[in-house]
Amino acid sequence: MSTIPSNAPAAPTIDRLPVSLPQLAEKKRLGEPIVMVTAYDYPSAVVAEQAGVDVVLVGDSGAMTVLGYPSTVPVSLEEMLMLAAATRRGLRTPLLVADLPFGSFEASNEQAIASAMRFVKEAGCDAVKIEASGTAAERSRALVAAGIPVMGHVGLTPQTATALGGYRAQGRTAERAHEVARDALALQEAGCFAIVFEAMPAPVADLLMERMEVPVIGIGAGSATDGQVLVFHDLLGIREGVGARFVKRYADLQAEMIAGVRAYAEDVRTQRYPGPDHTYSIDPGELERFRALLG
Ligand code: KIV
């Protein structure tokens, strides 16, 4: 890598105040949609900052999108901390939330607090997100009591997708919809400042919204939620395939990136790159002296 940062992304320049938890609650009250997107590193954070989103999530989807794991399950706390710290360095304004990865919070409230504290103290996150599971409400209550804001996540919860029968919409039977409702209400009651609804029928989300007092961010849950979240790589097309039904593609960057690297490879092989514009000059006198020094 070049040590001269001439191609480094422009530093964030948007002059807005950092997004706060009360501001998100106010947006819900006013009916102003909340925009959330995932990011996993400095460049994606700079993009989110410059695009003016409200909340950035260092999702454990990064296990798949940037670390190449087959699911979100294997990603470690250390790996997530590295992604979160890099994302922090590219952000000033959006609220920064990081996913507590699978295995970092289930064992005890103490384990959850220790893991979440690392996101706040070492990576500079504002809050953590926890996926609904047997222990999530109790852990959320403990985290909130320890002073760490928590975002809940119900419906399709990829960390426990195996137990849910795979990556599929949840709440398509009355019983399962009722379980999702119980999870959402338990997390709300535990003090979560916001909750993600992932992959559920829109009418189920609509009914649930009547009981939600905290902001709800939807992903594949219809339009009644207080905001929406999409995975950075899905919305920008930095991946193979089309992804889940709810994904809307706003760009096809993978194709652009492949075309760019192919053009570079072609230029190198045909010696069109580097050209005179890409090389440094030296004073002829210095060059002569150098030749002499070389003997
Ligand atoms: O990890 C992630 O990207 C998420 C979002 C889909 C909400 O949890």
3-state secondary structure 226-247: CEEEECHHHHCCCCCCCCCCCC
With the most atoms of ligand 1 within 8 angstroms of its CB, the residue from 56, 61, 71 to mutate is: 61
In single-letter form, the type of residue at position 105 comes to F
Tokens of residue 146, six digits: 């320890």
| In a domain? residue 1 | no
Ligand 1 pocket residue status of 99, Cβ below 6 Å: yes
Residue pLDDT, tens place only, 138-182: 999 999 999 999 999 999 999 988 888 788 899 999 999 999 999
Distance CA 92, CA 71 (A): 30
Q: Which atom of ligand 1 is nearest to the CA of 131?
A: 8
Per-residue pLDDT at 162: 82
pLDDT in tens, 176-211: 999 999 999 999 999 999 999 999 999 999 999 999
- The pLDDT of 107-114, averaged and rounded, is 98
Mean pLDDT of 102-111: 97
One domain, residues 86 and 186: yes
* Domain shared by 24 and 167, yes or no: yes
Q: So what's the pLDDT on residue 164?
A: 83
Residues 49 and 156: their CA atoms lie apart, in Å, by 28
How far, in Å, CA of 143 to CA of 161, rounded? 24
Q: Which two tokens stand for residue 157?
A: 């919860």
Indicate whether 3 belongs to any domain. no
Entry pTM? 0.93
| pLDDT: which is higher, 5 or 87 | 87
Q: For the chain, how many structural domains are there in total?
A: 2
279 and 151 in one domain? Answer: no
Tell me, yes or no, whether 175 and 273 share the same domain: no
Residue 44 in contact with ligand 1 by CB distance below 6 A: no
Do 178 and 84 lie in one domain? The reply is yes
Residues 60 and 121 placed together within one structural domain of the fold: yes
pLDDT in tens, 228-252: 999 999 999 998 877 899 999 999 9
Q: How many angstroms separate the alpha carbon of residue 61 from the centre of ligand 1?
A: 6
Q: Is the pLDDT score of 290 beyond 70?
A: yes
Say if residue 173 is in the same domain as residue 210.
yes
How far are the Cα atoms of 25, 44, 59, 194 from residue 243, in angstroms, in the given order? 31, 19, 16, 25
State phi, psi for 186 to the nearest 5 degrees.
Answer: -65, -40
Q: What does residue 233 show for φ and ψ, rounded to 5 degrees?
A: -70, -25
Residue 5 lies in a domain: no
Q: Residue 13 — very low, low, confident or very high, per pLDDT cuts 50/70/90? A: low
Helices (H), the chain: 21-30, 42-51, 62-65, 77-89, 109-121, 136-145, 174-189, 202-209, 232-235, 253-269, 284-294
Give yes or no for residue 2 having a pLDDT over 60. no
Assess whether the C-beta atom of 49 lies below 6 angstroms from ligand 1: no
Q: Answer yes or no: is 188 within a domain.
A: yes
The rounded percent of the chain whose pLDDT value lies above 90 is 88
Q: Among candidates 17, 20, 91, 103, which has minimal Cα distance to 58?
A: 91
Provide the mean pLDDT of the chain.
94
Residue 11 predicted with pLDDT over 70: no
User: How far are the Cα atoms of 165, 169, 177 from residue 204, in angstroms, in the given order?
Assistant: 19, 11, 7
Which pLDDT does position 31 carry in this prediction?
98
234 CB less than 6 Å from ligand 1?
no
At 1 the pLDDT is 47
Per-residue model confidence as pLDDT tens digits over 60-93: 999 999 999 999 999 999 999 999 999 999 999 9
Residue 140, domain member (yes or no): yes
Surface-to-core class of residue 278, CB atoms within 10 Å of its CB (0-12 exposed, 13-18 middle, 19+ buried): exposed
Give the residue numbers annotated as catalytic, written as ranges.
198
In terms of domains, do 243 and 269 share one? no
Which pLDDT does position 117 carry in this prediction? 98
Q: Please, are residues 23 and 65 in contact by the beta-carbon 8 Å criterion?
A: no
Does residue 154 sit in the same domain as residue 274?
no
Same domain, 235 and 279: no
In a domain, 245, yes or no: yes
- Domain containing residue 214: 16-251
Q: Does ligand 1 lie within 6 Å of residue 228's CB atom?
A: no
Closest Cα to atom 1, ligand 1: which residue?
59
Please give the distance, rounded to the nearest whole angstrom, from the Cα atom of residue 267 to the centre of ligand 1. 39
Structural contact between residues 5 and 21, judged by C-beta atoms closer than 8 angstroms: no
CATH number, domain of 224, equals: 3.20.20.60
Q: Is 4 part of any domain? A: no
pLDDT digits (tens, 9 = 90+) for 253-284: 999 999 999 999 999 999 999 999 999 999 99
Domain annotation covers residue 11: no
Note whether 106 and 84 are same-domain residues. Answer: yes
